[in-house]
Amino acid sequence: MKIVFVNRFFFPDHSATSQLLSDLAFYLASQGREVHVVTSRQRYDEPGARLPARELVRDVTIHRIWTSRFGRGTIPGRALDYLMFYICAGFALLRLASRGDTVVAKTDPPLLSLVAAPVAWLKGARLVNWLQDVFPEIAGAVGLGWARGWGGRLLARIRDSTLRSAQVNVVLGSVMQRYLISRGVSESKLRVIHNWADGNLVHAVRPEDNRLRREWGLDGKFVVGYSGNMGRVHEFETILGAAENLKGDKSVTFLFIGDGAQKKWLENEAIQRRLFNVRFLPYQPNDQLAASLSVPDVHLVSLRPEFEGFVVPSKFYGIAAAGRPTLFIGDQDSEIARLIREAQCGITIGVGDVSGLVAAIGRLRSDSSLHKGYCENARRVFEGRFEKRIALAAWRALLAS
Q: What is the pLDDT of residues 344-359, one digit of tens each?
A: 999 999 999 999 999 9
pLDDT band at 260 (very low <50, low <70, confident <90, very high): confident
Q: Which amino acid is at 380?
A: R
Q: Which pLDDT score is estimated for 72?
A: 67
pLDDT at 47: 72
C-beta neighbour count of 157 within 10 angstroms: 11
Report strand pairing: 346-349 vs 326-329.
parallel
More confident position, 257 or 47: 257
DSSP E strand stretches across 273-375: 278-281, 298-302, 326-329, 346-349
For the chain, what are the domain ranges? 2-198+388-400, 207-386
Query: What is the pLDDT, as a whole number, of residue 400?
Result: 93
Packing angle of the helix pair 150-165, 113-123 (nearest 10 deg): 40
pTM of the entire predicted model: 0.92
What is the 8-class DSSP label of residue 10?
Answer: -
Minimum mean pLDDT range among 72-81, 109-118, 329-338, 380-389: 72-81
Other Cβ atoms less than 10 A from the Cβ of 272: the count is 8
pLDDT digits (tens, 9 = 90+) for 279-320: 999 989 888 999 999 999 999 999 999 999 999 999 999 999
The amino acid occupying position 162 is: T
Percent of the chain with pLDDT over 70: 99
The mean pLDDT of the chain is 95
CA distance 77 to 69: 8
The tens digit of pLDDT for each residue in 74-111 reads 777 788 989 999 999 999 999 999 999 999 999 999 99
Three-class secondary structure of residue 288 per DSSP: helix
Identify the pLDDT of residue 73: 62
User: Hey, is 327 helix, strand or coil?
Assistant: strand
Mean pLDDT of 49-78: 87
* H or E element at residue 343: helix 335-343
The residue that leads in pLDDT, 229 or 379, is 379
Q: Is 215 left (phi over 0), alpha (psi -120 to 50) or beta?
A: alpha
| 68 residue type, one letter | S
Q: Kindly report the CATH class assigned to 207-386.
A: alpha beta
Domains 2-198+388-400 and 207-386 share a fold: yes
Task: Concatenate the DSSP letters of all residues of 76-119 into one string.
Answer: HHHHHHHHHHHHHHHHHHHHH--TT-EEEE--SSTTTHHHHHHH
333 C-beta neighbours (distance < 10 Å), count: 11
d(CA 63, CA 5): 10
Q: How far apart are CA 211 and CA 207, in angstroms?
A: 8
Output the CA torsion sign for 206, 210, 212, 218. positive
**Cβ burial 292-320 (10 Å sphere, 16+ → b, else e):** bbbbbbbbbbbbbbbbbbbbbbbbbbbbb
In 303-376, DSSP assigns E strands to: 326-329, 346-349
> What pLDDT, on the 0 to 100 scale, is given for residue 50?
83
**pLDDT over threshold 90, residue 43:** no
Dihedral, 187, 339, 301, 360 alpha carbons, nearest 10 = 150
Do residues 93 and 119 lie in contact, with contact meaning Cβ atoms separated by under 8 Å? yes
φ/ψ of residue 73, rounded to 5: -70, -35
The CATH architecture annotation of domain 2-198+388-400 reads 3-Layer(aba) Sandwich (3.40)
Distance (Å, whole) CA 55 – CA 61: 6
The CA distances from residue 358 to 30, 218, 326, 353, 363, in Å, are 47, 20, 14, 9, 9
- Give the bridge partners for 60, in sequence order: 35, 57
